[in-house]
Amino acid sequence: MSDYVIDATNVVKKFADFSAIDNVTLRVPKGCIYGFLGPNGCGKSTMIRVLTGLLSPTAGEVEVLGLAVPKQAEQLRLKIGYMTQKFSLYDDLSVEENMQFIGQIFGMNSAFLRQRIEQQLITYGLDALRQQRVAGMSGGQKQRLSLACATMHNPELLFLDEPTSAVDPQNRRDFWEQLFDLSEQGTTILVTTHYMDEAERCHRLAIMESGQIRADGEPETLMREMGVNVIEVYAPNLRALKLKLMDCQQVRSAAQQGIRLRVLIYQDVIDPIQWLKTTFTELSKAEINLTRPSLEDVFVCVTGKGRQ
Ligand SMILES: Nc1ncnc2c1ncn2[C@@H]1O[C@H](COP(=O)(O)OP(=O)(O)OP(=O)(O)O)[C@@H](O)[C@H]1O
């Protein structure tokens, strides 16, 4: 049996001739919050469906919590939680009824279920809303209820597919605090996101593109090893400067952020600030600084996004 909670090797998933997952190997240690990043349509949700046993892979080996998937998917279902982008709640049922329904699906006896509902109502700040019908709830409240439902049976592994796409920054922050509580209690979490600040919170992450994993590791390591220096340029006419920079083979990407241009320059340029000042005479007196890389820079470097 594998030491990893998720141990997937050379996974391929084809829809007709199209490879949505193209030879992906993924290993997730216990208790880890593992982020899954990538442009729309790169295969994140498909990979989750394969890992949960909802889709059969076309090729490859998948072991999740020591169970062979999809062969033992029915056993796996009792040990995992899955929160989808659309929250999968019943609009006409109340908060409490939604939890009851999930608890019954997982075969909890009524005394235990009552106790578990009370616990979850407190943990997820839903006590005052217990009689509220889902249809009238805000995005943040629905998200908390979805997480409460997905964790009703105390799963060892939780899959979260873009869980924060419909909520404001404060609710996102609170949600992540709850994920860290779950992680500390030993729950392993695989979470897809488009938000770079969320990705930076993960213990480890993978960046996918076109069905393949382009980078995989701890956020800090990925930022350190991305092979470019990140430079901020304060100068007039940034739009024109950007076009000129994008024509240089030394430049991986250039993107405007307010009054500055963020330029990623390959590390084989030894002194990137000097290089900018001598190559572009209009920058000879400009303010130019070397700055800390971000995960967005990593994303740009490892996917095809930089040259657009
Ligand atoms: N059942 C299906 N039949 C055919 N093609 C599919 C099916 N499910 C997904 N695809 C295709 O596979 C690719 C990957 O889709 P997937 O939903 O996994 O992407 P994603 O990375 O989760 O995207 P997003 O960030 O937009 O949620 C897409 O091109 C999608 O159209």
Q: What is the CATH number of the domain that holds 270?
A: 3.30.70.100
Whether residue 95 sits in one domain with residue 52 = yes
Pull the structure tokens for residue 259: 């009054």
Distance CA 286, CA 280 (A): 10
Where does ligand 1 bind, in terms of residues with CB under 6 Å? Answer: 15, 20, 38, 40-46
pLDDT of residue 232: 97
Find, among 247, 235, 181, the residue nearest to 33 by Cα.
Answer: 181
* Residue 299, domain member (yes or no): no
- Note whether residue 13 is domain-resident: yes
Residue 266 lies in a domain: yes
Measured in Å, residue 193 CA sits from the centre of ligand 1 at 15
Which ranges of the chain have pLDDT less than 70?
1, 87, 305-308
Examine the domain organization and report whether 216 and 114 are in the same domain: yes
Residues 115 and 249 in one domain: no
Whole-number Å distance between alpha carbons of 66 and 76: 9
Considering the domain boundaries, does residue 301 fall inside one?
Answer: no
213 CA distance to ligand 1 middle (Å):
15
Residues 126, 246 share a domain: no
SS3 category, 252? strand
CB 277 within 8 A of CB 283: yes
Entry pTM: 0.90
The pLDDT value recorded for residue 285 is 92
pLDDT at 305: 55
**Ligand 1 atom 6 nearest Cα:** 15
Which pLDDT does position 8 carry in this prediction? 97
Domain holding 61: CATH number?
3.40.50.300
Residue 38 CA: which ligand 1 atom is closest?
21
pLDDT at residue 1, as a whole number: 65
* CB-based contact 35:128 (threshold 8 Å): no
In this structure, the answer to whether residues 205 and 252 fall within a common structural domain is no
β pairing state of 204-209 and 33-37: parallel
Report if residue 298 sits inside a domain: no
Identity at 302, one-letter amino acid code: V
Residues 123 and 266 in one domain: no
H or E stretch at 37: strand 33-37
Question: Are residues 26 and 77 located together in one domain of the fold?
Answer: yes
Asked if residue 213 is part of any domain, the answer here is yes
Q: What does the pLDDT read at residue 248?
A: 96
Tokens at 161, concatenated: 């597919």
Cβ neighbours of residue 227 closer than 8 Å, sequence gap 6 or more: 266, 267, 301
Structural contact between residues 61 and 10, judged by C-beta atoms closer than 8 angstroms: yes
Distance from C-alpha of 209 to C-alpha of 42, rounded to nearest angstrom? 5
**Which tokens belong to 49?**
């469906």
Report ipTM (2 d.p.). 0.96
Q: Is the domain of 99 the same as that of 246?
A: no
**Residue 118 has what pLDDT?**
97
Rounded to an integer, what distance in angstroms lies between the CA atom of residue 67 and that of residue 219? 29
| Structural domain span for residue 248 | 227-292
Judge contact between 63 and 8, C-beta under 8 A: yes
> Is the residue at 308 inside a domain?
no
pLDDT score at 84? 83
Instruction: Give the pair of three-digit tokens for residue 216.
Output: 């995989």
Which residues 6+ apart lie within 8 Å of 217 measured at CB?
A: 204, 205, 225
Structural contact between residues 236 and 285, judged by C-beta atoms closer than 8 angstroms: no
**CB distance 260 to 296 below 8 Å:** no
Give the percent of the chain with pLDDT over 90.
83
Last residue within a domain, chosen from 222, 250, 273: 222
Bridge partners, 291 (sequence order): 230
What is the model's pLDDT at position 308?
Answer: 46
The pLDDT of residue 216 is 94
Domain co-membership, 252 together with 269 = yes
Q: Which of 46, 160, 299 has the most ligand 1 atoms within 8 A of CB, as the residue to mutate?
A: 46
Pocket test for ligand 1, best of 11, 13, 15 (most atoms within 8 A of CB): 15
182 and 281 together in one domain: no
- CA dihedral 227→161→41→219, nearest 10 degrees, is 0
Residues 122 and 270 in one domain: no
Total structural domains in the chain?
Answer: 2
Residue 82 has a pLDDT of 93
Which of 173, 200, 222 is a domain's end point?
222
d(CA 15, CA 40): 17
Tokens describing residue 115: 């106790």
127, part of any domain: yes
Amino acid 196: pLDDT = 87
Label residue 10 left, alpha or beta by phi (over 0 means left) and psi (-120 to 50 means alpha).
left
Q: Which of 222, 256, 282 is the last residue of a domain?
A: 222
Q: What residue owns the CA closest to ligand 1's atom 11?
A: 20
Q: Whose CA is nearest to atom 2 of ligand 1?
A: 15
Nearest CA to ligand 1 atom 8: 46
Say if residue 210 is in the same domain as residue 258. no
